[in-house]
């Protein structure tokens, strides 16, 4: 919407922020004659301009997105093509007969295809607005949909200028590795499906706990489960700081390695049980934010990072 007084963008309001201040001072009023906002000492316009509900955008991309678009084009393999602002429903389809497919009516910033227009990689450009809870939920949904469809999703942050070397590495890795598909929808359905009750015998219960303990002891996953849950992405500045500290400092000491093993033994279960709770994420953020800030002050970079092998 345009401001009724100065004509600048005013979002969903009839006045922009500057003109609203003028209104609070009494210099701009809502005229009883014409029903519009204008300066108190200005006569009502004789000819009312038509108000259009729709107008053409000046560009498909923001200024930040244009920078990343240019950088991606420079490093994109010659047999690939790049398309901006592509709807999920354009390159992903549901395999069931569901009538409503609202979850696919979301856009990704860029889609990489081969010369035959077969989808290969989705790319998202995130700014600080993606740290809000609503945007995190949206981003997680898009990630799960792409992962289930076998489309790698690369996330780049506007906090950093486009790094062509880093972007080239991410694209080459995504193109060279086979798609990793995860049946998120099936897993979610299984979680909500009714479970037959069974009272285990004492020896069954003991064996179950022994097996679980053994499984947790042998896990060697490298994902920052809690930090990823709290901040909404494995590739974001806060998690980059923690991953870099893990690999460059903690892995070099006995106690650090013991802590890592303990963390990876219990964190997947914590996230699985409590990750959907807002209170869990808020508490995690209150605990992790000071740690991340302290590490940043001590020189731990928050730039894009790839895990050590």
pLDDT 10s digits, 57-112: 899 999 999 999 999 999 999 999 999 999 999 999 998 877 667 889 999 999 99
48 and 100 together in one domain: no
Contacts made by residues 9-17, CB under 8 angstroms, sequence distance 24+: none
304 falls within a domain: no
Say which DSSP state 124 is in. E
Q: Is the pLDDT of residue 220 over 50?
A: no
Give the CA diameter of the chain. 89
| Mean pLDDT on 171-199 | 78
| Cα gap 264→258, rounded to integer Å | 10
How far from each other are the two terminal CA atoms of the chain, in whole angstroms? 51
195 falls within a domain: no
34 and 68 together in one domain: no
Query: Could you tell me the residue range of the domain that residue 284 belongs to?
Result: 205-297
Query: What total of structural domains would you count in the chain?
Result: 3
Bigger pLDDT: 131 or 85?
A: 85
| Cα gap 90→242, rounded to integer Å | 36
pLDDT 10s digits, 235-267: 888 888 888 888 888 889 998 889 888 888 888
18 falls within a domain: yes
164 and 248 together in one domain: no
71 and 98 together in one domain: yes
49 and 136 together in one domain: no
46 and 80 together in one domain: no
Bigger pLDDT: 206 or 12?
A: 12
Give the per-residue pLDDT at 301: 86
Q: Please, is 200 exposed, middle or buried when counting C-beta atoms within 10 Å of its C-beta (0-12, 13-18, 19+)?
A: exposed
| Cβ contacts of 284 within 8 Å, gap of 6 or more | 226, 227, 229, 230
163 and 95 together in one domain: yes
Q: Is the pLDDT of residue 35 over 80?
A: no
CATH number for the domain that contains residue 122: 3.90.1570
Looking at 188, 214, 244, the residue that finishes a domain is 188
């Amino acid at each position: 919407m345009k401001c009724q007084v100065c004509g600048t963008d005013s979002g969903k309001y009839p006045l922009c922020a500057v003109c609203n201040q003028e209104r609070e001072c009494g210099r701009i009023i809502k005229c009883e004659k014409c029903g519009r906002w204008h300066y108190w000492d200005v006569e009502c316009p004789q000819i009312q301009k038509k108000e259009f509900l729709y107008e053409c955008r000046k560009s498909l991309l923001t200024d930040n997105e244009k920078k990343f678009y240019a950088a991606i084009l420079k490093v994109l393999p010659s047999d690939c093509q790049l398309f901006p602002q592509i709807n999920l429903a354009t390159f992903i389809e549901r395999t069931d007969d569901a009538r409503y497919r609202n979850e696919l009516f979301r856009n990704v910033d860029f889609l990489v295809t081969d010369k035959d227009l077969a989808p290969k990689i989705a790319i998202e450009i995130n700014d600080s607005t993606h740290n809000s809870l609503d945007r995190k939920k949206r981003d997680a949904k898009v990630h799960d949909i792409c992962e289930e469809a076998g489309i790698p999703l690369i996330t780049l942050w506007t906090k950093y200028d486009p790094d062509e070397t880093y972007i080239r590495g991410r694209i080459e890795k995504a193109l060279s590795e086979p798609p990793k598909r995860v049946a998120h929808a099936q897993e979610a359905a299984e979680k909500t499906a009714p479970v037959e009750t069974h009272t285990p015998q004492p020896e069954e219960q003991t064996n179950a706990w022994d097996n679980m303990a053994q499984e947790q002891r042998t896990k060697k996953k490298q994902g920052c489960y809690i930090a990823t849950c709290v901040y909404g992405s494995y590739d974001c500045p806060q998690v980059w700081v923690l991953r870099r500290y893990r690999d460059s400092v903690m892995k070099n000491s006995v106690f650090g390695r013991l802590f890592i093993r303990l963390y990876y033994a219990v964190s997947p279960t914590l996230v699985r049980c409590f990750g959907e709770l807002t209170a869990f994420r808020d508490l995690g953020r209150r605990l992790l934010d000071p740690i991340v800030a302290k590490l940043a002050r001590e020189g731990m970079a928050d730039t894009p990072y790839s895990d050590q092998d």
